[in-house]
Structures are given as structure tokens and as C-alpha cells.
Amino acid sequence: MALKSDRDHEFLQRLAAEAALRAASKGKLDAESRARVGELIEACDRPYPVLPEAMRVARAIRVLELTGTPQAVAVLKKLAKGTPKAHTTQHAKAALKRIARAPAPAAKSKL
């Protein structure tokens, strides 16, 4: 994965910090440390503001979902294998679930 911007770097730092905080919260901590770690975990759970690039990715995933071709599904499957907390991964997984739940298209009759 190439870090294309400072924002990408910040996102990865946040993921690493969150994992470390969640691991620390399961260990032995005094009351004050547990409270501070809890506050930091809550801060990690707050969503990032939606950026134009994120909106473009979400729209592109929606187009792939609506297209529903085998090639589009293959792209969604590849995107769904990304970092679990990444928005792209989450959107792709959700799109694949919706595709799986959608009724099969009716066969066209020849008139």
C-alpha cells in the first residue's frame, strides 16, 4: 500500500493507535489509566469528516453494485479484502451483501 498523502499516513497511525489502546484496555490498569484509555478509544470511534475523495469512492462502489456484472462483482470482492476499518472495504462488503440479498433478475421472454 502506498501512502499517497499525509491523510493516509494519519489514518494508518490512527488504526495502529486504536489497536494498541484496545489491547491496553484489556490489561491491568488503575482506574485513572482505564478512564483515559476509554476516552481515547471513544475518540477513535468518532468518524472522520467525509471528504470529496471518499464520496467519489462510495459512488463508484454504488455504480459497481448497480451494474452487477461478474466483472463488477470481482472488483467489489477485491476491494472487500482491504483493511477492515477502511471505508472502501466497508462499502464494498456492504455492496456485496446487498447483491447477495437481491432477487435474481427475471428472465426476458421472447415475443
* Domain boundaries, given as residue ranges, for the chain: 7-46, 50-102
Q: Residue 9: CB partners within 8 Å, gap ≥ 6?
A: 3
Question: For the whole prediction, is pTM greater than 0.85?
Answer: no
Cα 70 from Cα 102, distance rounded (Å): 15
Render each residue's pLDDT in the chain as its tens digit; 111 residues: 455 566 666 766 777 777 888 888 888 888 888 888 888 888 777 666 667 888 899 999 999 999 999 999 999 999 999 988 888 999 999 999 999 998 876 656 666
Q: Residue 11: CB partners within 8 Å, gap ≥ 6?
A: 48, 86
Helix, strand or coil, per DSSP, at residue 63: helix
Are 82 and 49 within 8 A, CB to CB? no
The three grid cell numbers given for residue 24, joined into one nine-digit string: 491496553
